[in-house]
A and B are shown apart, each in its own frame.
Chain A
Amino acid sequence: MTLRTGVEVSIALADAVKMCNPDVIAAYPITPQTHIVEHLAELVANGELDAEYIPVESEHSAMSACLGSSASGARTFTATSSQGLALMNEVLYVAAPMRLPIVMALANRALSAPLSIWGDHSDMMSIRDTGWIQIVTENGQQAVDNTIIAFRVAEDPRVLLPAIVHLDGFNLTHVVEPIIFPEQADVDKFLPKYKFPLPLNPDKPVAMGEFTPPFIFMEAKWAQEVNLKNSKKVILQVWDEFQKIFGRKYLPVEKYHSDGAKVLLMTMGSSGETASVAIDELRKEGVDVGQIRLRLWRPFPFEELREAVKDADVLIVMDRSISFGGPGGPLASEVKAALYNQAKKPKVVSYVISLGGRDTTVSGFKDIVKKGTEIAAKGSQNEYEIYGVRE
């Protein structure tokens, strides 16, 4: 019987990073990511983790240091949140086309202004097109598991791409959860040594990040796109292999009582667990409703999504950020785009919820299912609905 330990999720995630034996950690503390990097700094300072901890002066420098260390063939980790991620933005774009498998934990938090340290997905959406693999977790165990998985996927010779593990700020980072820690020997077996094929090496000089004239730029961008799309196959394989060793299964689109249900609630991140309780209660009350949870945000799992919703009449999509002046929820617009050309598809209702740490409770999700089903039947003039705003 594997032991469950009660531990704060940030500490657990840092301990998972330690089990992956990184060579370099370059990070700058920011709420609600702080405990992750604080604990890693402590592990390095105490001699429990043999890694270089680079206490940089900003997130821009953190990601720049990560590029260099990853390019030299060092296993590299960083973590940030919100404004820190915004400051990293310029450098984030560089990692994917240069094929540097940096792993980052992102404690999802609202972007200013107004200033908020609490959770939502506006930071996640701000870096959507940076080309990073993005896994979205729902609880502490998933964050721990997928940190180890992220290193394995990112460093796979068929992938070599940077990867982000998303975990909601406070709702996950600052709660104590029962965590099953894997055995170190199993992690070592699961995660082979990182080997970059053409590392920075003075004895065999290479040029990285070269100036690219118009005659070859589009080919370089297409190589990046093909590479990220192809990574899905490897992610699925690695998740399978993880299940074989550690017993926990991950899928790009996870189903909860969704097969055959006419109404589906779609969530991404920690709110999914609260929504599941609402689904349980509604089903007891006789409502024909199920849930799907998106685990893989990039590369986007088009086929799995289409398969999961093909028999539903209504799909109510939860977003924790707004595309201002646009279609509302970024996840909902992605889902609409994925389904638009399908002959048979559910009506999609887009709901923006839980911005800047506002809780959506079980009764809130039940209310959303009821209202969303009515909107799907009657139609609405709104591009999207926003839940719980006082008018």
Chain B
Amino acid sequence: MAKSENELTWKDLEIGNIVTDVKNEGSARRYESGTWRSQRPTYDFNKCIKCGLCALYCPEGCIGQNKEGNFEADLFYCKGCGICARECWPKVIKMVEEVE
């Protein structure tokens, strides 16, 4: 999109608000749902057994393996629901309050 969000007018919308560029504009990939978060996951990777349960349970699908193979949330998308921390039985993940 050439114009920024705040410059777009109703005339810039495609017919029926259809998005034709499905790889970029039409993709939720660009949508930073991480801004909704009030809590953030923190990790003690010494305890991580790389079982991947946290990734299976993550409703956002934002957990993947990092360089060391440990499972970690992408904070651009993570909404801070805490499900991963609850499901992680080796207790790797701890939720902490987001502070400015």
Task: Indicate whether A100 reaches chain B with its CB closer than 8 angstroms.
Answer: yes
Q: A207-B22, A210-B26 are in contact. Are A215 and B16 (CB under 8 A)?
A: no
The answer for the CA separation of A326 and B38 in the assembled complex, in Å, is 44
For residue A198, which residues in chain B have a CB less than 8 angstroms away from its CB?
14-16, 18, 20
Determine whether the beta carbon of B17 is less than 8 Å from that of A98: yes
For residue B18, which residues in chain A have a CB less than 8 angstroms away from its CB?
198, 206-208, 210
Interface flags for B13-48 (1: CB within 8 Å of A; 0: not) read 111111110100010100000000000000000000
Determine whether the beta carbon of B26 is less than 8 Å from that of A219: no
The answer for the CA separation of A211 and B26 in the assembled complex, in Å, is 9
Task: Indicate whether B9 reaches chain A with its CB closer than 8 angstroms.
Answer: yes
Determine whether the beta carbon of A207 is less than 8 Å from that of B15: no
The answer for the CA separation of A97 and B12 in the assembled complex, in Å, is 15
The answer for the CA separation of A207 and B22 in the assembled complex, in Å, is 6
The answer for the CA separation of A219 and B10 in the assembled complex, in Å, is 4
Determine whether the beta carbon of B13 is less than 8 Å from that of A219: yes
A-B residue pairs, 10 tightest by C-beta: A99-B16, A207-B26, A219-B10, A207-B19, A223-B10, A98-B16, A222-B10, A215-B5, A198-B18, A205-B22
Determine whether the beta carbon of B6 is less than 8 Å from that of A215: yes
Can you report 27 A-B residue pairs in the complex whose CB atoms are below 8 A from each other? A98-B16, A99-B15, A99-B16, A160-B15, A197-B15, A198-B16, A198-B20, A205-B22, A206-B19, A206-B22, A206-B26, A207-B18, A207-B19, A207-B22, A208-B19, A210-B18, A211-B28, A216-B13, A219-B8, A219-B13, A220-B13, A220-B17, A222-B10, A223-B10, A223-B13, A223-B17, A226-B10
Shortest distance from the beta carbon of B96 to any chain A beta carbon, whole Å: 28
For residue B6, which residues in chain A have a CB less than 8 angstroms away from its CB?
215
Determine whether the beta carbon of A210 is less than 8 Å from that of B19: yes
The answer for the CA separation of A288 and B10 in the assembled complex, in Å, is 49
The answer for the CA separation of A93 and B26 in the assembled complex, in Å, is 22
Task: Indicate whether A212 reaches chain B with its CB closer than 8 angstroms.
Answer: yes
Assign chain B's interface to a size class.
10 to 19
Identify which of residues 217-231 in chain A touch chain B, using a CB-to-CB cut-off of 8 Å. Answer: 219-220, 222-223, 226
The answer for the CA separation of A198 and B22 in the assembled complex, in Å, is 13
Assign chain A's interface to a size class.
20 to 34
Interface centre among A205, A211, A215, A223 (most CB of B within 10 A): A223
Q: Name the residue of chain B whose CB is nearest to the CB of A199.
A: B18
For residue A222, which residues in chain B have a CB less than 8 angstroms away from its CB?
10
Q: Name the residue of chain A whose CB is nearest to the CB of B28.
A: A211
Determine whether the beta carbon of A208 is less than 8 Å from that of B16: yes
The answer for the CA separation of A100 and B26 in the assembled complex, in Å, is 20
For residue A216, which residues in chain B have a CB less than 8 angstroms away from its CB?
5, 8, 13
Interface centre among A160, A207, A220 (most CB of B within 10 A): A207
A-B contact sample (20 more), CB < 8 A, given A198-B20, A207-B18, A207-B22? A97-B16, A97-B17, A100-B16, A198-B18, A206-B19, A206-B20, A206-B26, A207-B19, A208-B16, A208-B19, A209-B17, A210-B18, A216-B5, A216-B13, A219-B8, A219-B12, A219-B13, A220-B13, A223-B17, A226-B10
Identify which of residues 134-161 in chain A touch chain B, using a CB-to-CB cut-off of 8 Å. Answer: 160
Interface centre among B13, B18, B20, B28 (most CB of A within 10 A): B18
For residue A212, which residues in chain B have a CB less than 8 angstroms away from its CB?
17
The answer for the CA separation of A208 and B18 in the assembled complex, in Å, is 5
For residue B9, which residues in chain A have a CB less than 8 angstroms away from its CB?
219
For residue A207, which residues in chain B have a CB less than 8 angstroms away from its CB?
18-19, 22, 26
The answer for the CA separation of A10 and B15 in the assembled complex, in Å, is 34
Q: Name the residue of chain B whose CB is nearest to the CB of A208.
A: B18
Q: Name the residue of chain A whose CB is nearest to the CB of B4.
A: A215
The answer for the CA separation of A345 and B54 in the assembled complex, in Å, is 70
The answer for the CA separation of A160 and B26 in the assembled complex, in Å, is 22
Q: Name the residue of chain A whose CB is nearest to the CB of B9.
A: A219
The answer for the CA separation of A219 and B12 in the assembled complex, in Å, is 9
Determine whether the beta carbon of A210 is less than 8 Å from that of B20: no
The answer for the CA separation of A198 and B17 in the assembled complex, in Å, is 11
Shortest distance from the beta carbon of A157 to any chain B beta carbon, whole Å: 9
The answer for the CA separation of A210 and B12 in the assembled complex, in Å, is 15
The answer for the CA separation of A212 and B9 in the assembled complex, in Å, is 14
Q: Name the residue of chain A whose CB is nearest to the CB of B5.
A: A215
Shortest distance from the beta carbon of B95 to any chain A beta carbon, whole Å: 27
The answer for the CA separation of A226 and B11 in the assembled complex, in Å, is 10
